[in-house]
Amino acid sequence: MGLSSLVDMVNSVPGATSSSVLGPFHVSNPPPLEIGGDMRRDFEGEVVLVEGIVRDIDGAPVAGAEIDIWQTAPNGMYSSQDPAQDVHSFHALMTTDATDRYAFNTVKPVSYTVPNDGPVGQILDAAGRHPWRPSHLHFIVKAEGCRDLVTEVFAADDPYLDEDTVFGVREDLVMSYTPQPAGSFPDGFTMSGKVPGEYSRVDIDFKLARG
Protein backbone atom coordinates (compact mmCIF):
# COMPACT_ATOMS: atom_id res chain seq x y z
CA MET A 1 0.00 0.00 0.00
CA GLY A 2 2.96 2.28 0.36
CA LEU A 3 4.25 1.52 -3.13
CA SER A 4 2.26 4.20 -4.96
CA SER A 5 3.40 6.72 -2.36
CA LEU A 6 7.01 5.66 -2.89
CA VAL A 7 6.58 6.21 -6.65
CA ASP A 8 5.12 9.67 -5.93
CA MET A 9 8.11 10.57 -3.78
CA VAL A 10 10.59 9.43 -6.42
CA ASN A 11 8.75 11.42 -9.11
CA SER A 12 8.39 14.63 -7.09
CA VAL A 13 10.39 17.57 -8.45
CA PRO A 14 12.54 19.55 -5.96
CA GLY A 15 11.03 23.00 -5.44
CA ALA A 16 7.62 21.98 -6.76
CA THR A 17 4.62 21.07 -4.64
CA SER A 18 4.94 17.42 -3.62
CA SER A 19 2.80 14.91 -5.45
CA SER A 20 0.66 12.41 -3.58
CA VAL A 21 -1.78 9.57 -4.06
CA LEU A 22 -4.39 9.83 -6.86
CA GLY A 23 -6.66 7.26 -5.20
CA PRO A 24 -9.65 5.51 -6.76
CA PHE A 25 -12.32 8.23 -6.42
CA HIS A 26 -11.47 10.72 -9.15
CA VAL A 27 -14.18 11.09 -11.82
CA SER A 28 -13.74 12.14 -15.44
CA ASN A 29 -15.48 15.28 -16.69
CA PRO A 30 -15.96 17.07 -13.36
CA PRO A 31 -18.37 20.02 -13.58
CA PRO A 32 -16.81 23.45 -14.17
CA LEU A 33 -16.86 25.78 -11.16
CA GLU A 34 -16.26 29.54 -11.41
CA ILE A 35 -13.58 31.16 -9.24
CA GLY A 36 -15.13 31.77 -5.83
CA GLY A 37 -17.75 29.09 -6.53
CA ASP A 38 -19.63 26.88 -4.11
CA MET A 39 -18.98 23.11 -3.81
CA ARG A 40 -21.19 22.76 -0.73
CA ARG A 41 -24.53 22.46 -2.51
CA ASP A 42 -26.96 21.57 0.32
CA PHE A 43 -24.49 19.73 2.55
CA GLU A 44 -24.02 20.82 6.15
CA GLY A 45 -20.59 20.88 7.76
CA GLU A 46 -17.70 23.19 8.68
CA VAL A 47 -17.60 25.75 5.88
CA VAL A 48 -14.16 26.36 4.41
CA LEU A 49 -12.89 28.98 1.99
CA VAL A 50 -10.03 27.44 0.01
CA GLU A 51 -7.92 29.87 -1.96
CA GLY A 52 -4.47 30.27 -3.39
CA ILE A 53 -2.28 30.89 -6.38
CA VAL A 54 -0.60 28.74 -9.01
CA ARG A 55 3.03 29.54 -9.83
CA ASP A 56 5.96 27.75 -11.39
CA ILE A 57 8.95 26.83 -9.22
CA ASP A 58 10.67 30.13 -10.13
CA GLY A 59 7.67 32.07 -8.84
CA ALA A 60 6.36 33.10 -12.27
CA PRO A 61 2.57 33.26 -12.52
CA VAL A 62 0.79 30.42 -14.28
CA ALA A 63 -2.45 31.79 -15.70
CA GLY A 64 -5.08 29.52 -17.15
CA ALA A 65 -4.14 26.53 -14.97
CA GLU A 66 -6.83 23.86 -14.61
CA ILE A 67 -7.49 22.64 -11.07
CA ASP A 68 -9.46 19.43 -10.73
CA ILE A 69 -10.79 19.15 -7.15
CA TRP A 70 -12.47 16.31 -5.27
CA GLN A 71 -13.13 15.32 -1.68
CA THR A 72 -15.40 13.36 0.66
CA ALA A 73 -18.85 14.50 1.66
CA PRO A 74 -19.31 15.13 5.42
CA ASN A 75 -20.35 11.48 5.81
CA GLY A 76 -16.83 10.36 4.81
CA MET A 77 -17.87 8.99 1.43
CA TYR A 78 -16.98 10.02 -2.10
CA SER A 79 -19.83 10.37 -4.57
CA SER A 80 -18.91 7.11 -6.33
CA GLN A 81 -19.31 5.22 -3.01
CA ASP A 82 -22.58 6.80 -1.98
CA PRO A 83 -25.89 6.22 -3.81
CA ALA A 84 -27.36 9.21 -1.99
CA GLN A 85 -24.96 11.60 -3.75
CA ASP A 86 -25.00 12.93 -7.28
CA VAL A 87 -21.99 11.57 -9.23
CA HIS A 88 -20.49 15.06 -9.36
CA SER A 89 -21.06 15.99 -5.74
CA PHE A 90 -17.81 17.36 -4.30
CA HIS A 91 -16.08 17.25 -7.68
CA ALA A 92 -15.20 20.42 -9.62
CA LEU A 93 -12.92 21.81 -12.32
CA MET A 94 -11.67 25.38 -11.90
CA THR A 95 -9.52 27.46 -14.26
CA THR A 96 -7.29 30.20 -12.80
CA ASP A 97 -7.70 33.71 -14.13
CA ALA A 98 -5.08 36.16 -15.36
CA THR A 99 -4.06 36.85 -11.74
CA ASP A 100 -3.21 33.12 -11.30
CA ARG A 101 -5.58 32.91 -8.31
CA TYR A 102 -8.28 30.40 -7.55
CA ALA A 103 -10.85 30.14 -4.75
CA PHE A 104 -13.84 28.03 -3.82
CA ASN A 105 -15.88 27.25 -0.77
CA THR A 106 -16.79 23.83 0.49
CA VAL A 107 -17.32 21.91 3.69
CA LYS A 108 -14.25 20.55 5.40
CA PRO A 109 -13.47 16.99 4.25
CA VAL A 110 -13.38 14.38 7.01
CA SER A 111 -11.13 11.46 7.94
CA TYR A 112 -12.31 8.21 6.34
CA THR A 113 -11.48 4.53 6.17
CA VAL A 114 -10.24 2.91 2.96
CA PRO A 115 -12.40 -0.06 1.88
CA ASN A 116 -11.07 -2.85 4.11
CA ASP A 117 -13.39 -5.81 3.52
CA GLY A 118 -11.20 -7.60 0.93
CA PRO A 119 -7.48 -8.22 0.37
CA VAL A 120 -6.63 -4.72 1.58
CA GLY A 121 -8.28 -5.52 4.90
CA GLN A 122 -6.31 -8.74 5.17
CA ILE A 123 -3.04 -6.90 4.51
CA LEU A 124 -3.90 -4.24 7.10
CA ASP A 125 -4.84 -6.91 9.65
CA ALA A 126 -1.60 -8.79 8.99
CA ALA A 127 0.41 -5.60 9.45
CA GLY A 128 -1.55 -4.62 12.56
CA ARG A 129 -2.57 -1.32 10.95
CA HIS A 130 -5.84 0.62 10.91
CA PRO A 131 -7.65 1.69 7.70
CA TRP A 132 -7.93 5.45 8.41
CA ARG A 133 -6.85 8.31 6.17
CA PRO A 134 -6.61 11.88 7.53
CA SER A 135 -8.92 14.57 6.12
CA HIS A 136 -7.71 15.79 2.72
CA LEU A 137 -8.62 17.60 -0.47
CA HIS A 138 -7.54 16.00 -3.77
CA PHE A 139 -6.15 18.10 -6.62
CA ILE A 140 -4.83 17.60 -10.13
CA VAL A 141 -3.26 20.84 -11.39
CA LYS A 142 -2.43 21.18 -15.09
CA ALA A 143 -1.01 24.10 -17.04
CA GLU A 144 0.56 24.55 -20.44
CA GLY A 145 4.33 24.10 -20.32
CA CYS A 146 4.21 22.50 -16.85
CA ARG A 147 4.22 18.96 -15.52
CA ASP A 148 0.87 17.75 -14.23
CA LEU A 149 0.65 17.74 -10.44
CA VAL A 150 -1.43 15.06 -8.71
CA THR A 151 -1.61 15.79 -5.02
CA GLU A 152 -3.58 16.00 -1.78
CA VAL A 153 -3.69 18.64 0.93
CA PHE A 154 -4.17 17.55 4.55
CA ALA A 155 -5.67 19.32 7.56
CA ALA A 156 -3.00 20.06 10.17
CA ASP A 157 -5.29 19.24 13.10
CA ASP A 158 -6.29 15.76 11.94
CA PRO A 159 -5.65 12.94 14.47
CA TYR A 160 -4.55 10.53 11.71
CA LEU A 161 -2.02 12.91 10.15
CA ASP A 162 0.97 10.88 11.32
CA GLU A 163 -0.54 7.50 10.53
CA ASP A 164 -2.17 7.76 7.09
CA THR A 165 -2.85 4.18 6.06
CA VAL A 166 -1.68 4.79 2.47
CA PHE A 167 1.32 6.98 3.43
CA GLY A 168 0.17 10.00 1.37
CA VAL A 169 1.17 12.77 3.78
CA ARG A 170 4.15 15.03 2.92
CA GLU A 171 5.26 17.90 5.12
CA ASP A 172 4.53 20.61 2.53
CA LEU A 173 1.02 19.24 1.96
CA VAL A 174 -0.16 19.87 5.54
CA MET A 175 -2.15 23.11 5.88
CA SER A 176 -3.90 24.86 8.76
CA TYR A 177 -7.58 25.74 8.59
CA THR A 178 -7.80 29.17 10.21
CA PRO A 179 -11.07 30.26 11.90
CA GLN A 180 -12.64 33.39 10.41
CA PRO A 181 -15.35 35.58 11.97
CA ALA A 182 -18.78 35.67 10.37
CA GLY A 183 -19.20 38.14 7.55
CA SER A 184 -15.52 38.84 6.85
CA PHE A 185 -14.17 37.77 3.49
CA PRO A 186 -10.45 38.32 2.92
CA ASP A 187 -8.86 40.03 -0.04
CA GLY A 188 -12.14 41.11 -1.55
CA PHE A 189 -13.43 37.56 -1.96
CA THR A 190 -17.11 36.98 -1.58
CA MET A 191 -18.61 33.56 -0.96
CA SER A 192 -21.25 32.25 -3.30
CA GLY A 193 -24.04 29.94 -2.12
CA LYS A 194 -25.50 30.16 1.37
CA VAL A 195 -23.55 32.74 3.37
CA PRO A 196 -22.14 30.98 6.46
CA GLY A 197 -21.60 32.30 9.94
CA GLU A 198 -18.12 31.53 11.21
CA TYR A 199 -16.02 29.60 8.74
CA SER A 200 -12.44 28.48 8.18
CA ARG A 201 -9.94 29.53 5.56
CA VAL A 202 -7.10 27.50 4.12
CA ASP A 203 -4.49 28.96 1.77
CA ILE A 204 -3.08 26.44 -0.67
CA ASP A 205 -0.52 27.67 -3.20
CA PHE A 206 0.71 25.28 -5.88
CA LYS A 207 4.18 25.35 -7.41
CA LEU A 208 4.45 23.50 -10.72
CA ALA A 209 7.59 22.16 -12.38
CA ARG A 210 8.19 23.33 -15.94
CA GLY A 211 8.62 20.70 -18.60
- Per CB under 5 A, does 61 bind Fe ion? no
Rounded CA gap, 111 and 100, in Å? 30
- Among positions 8-37, residues that touch Fe ion (CB under 5 A) are 23
CA proximity to 177, closest of 191, 197, 156: 156
Q: Which CB sits closer to Fe ion, 23 or 61? A: 23
Closer residue to Fe ion in complex, CB, 174/209: 174
Q: How far is the CB of 25 from Fe ion (least distance, A)?
A: 6
Among residues 101, 75, 104, the alpha carbon closest in space to that of 91 is found at: 104
Nearest residue (CB) to Fe ion, 49 versus 137: 137
Q: How far is the CB of 134 from Fe ion (least distance, A)?
A: 10
CB of 1 to Fe ion, least distance (A): 14
Q: Alpha-carbon distance 90 to 186, whole Å?
A: 23
Alpha-carbon distance 68 to 29, whole Å?
9
The site that binds Fe ion (CB under 5 A) totals a number of residues, namely 1
Measure Cα distances from 135 to 10, 109, 153, 169 in Å. 24, 5, 8, 11
Q: How far is the CB of 111 from Fe ion (least distance, A)?
A: 10
Q: Which residues contact 126 (CB under 8 A, 6 or more apart)?
A: none
Give the nearest distance from C-beta 68 to Fe ion in angstroms: 13
Contact residues toward Fe ion (CB under 5 A) are 23
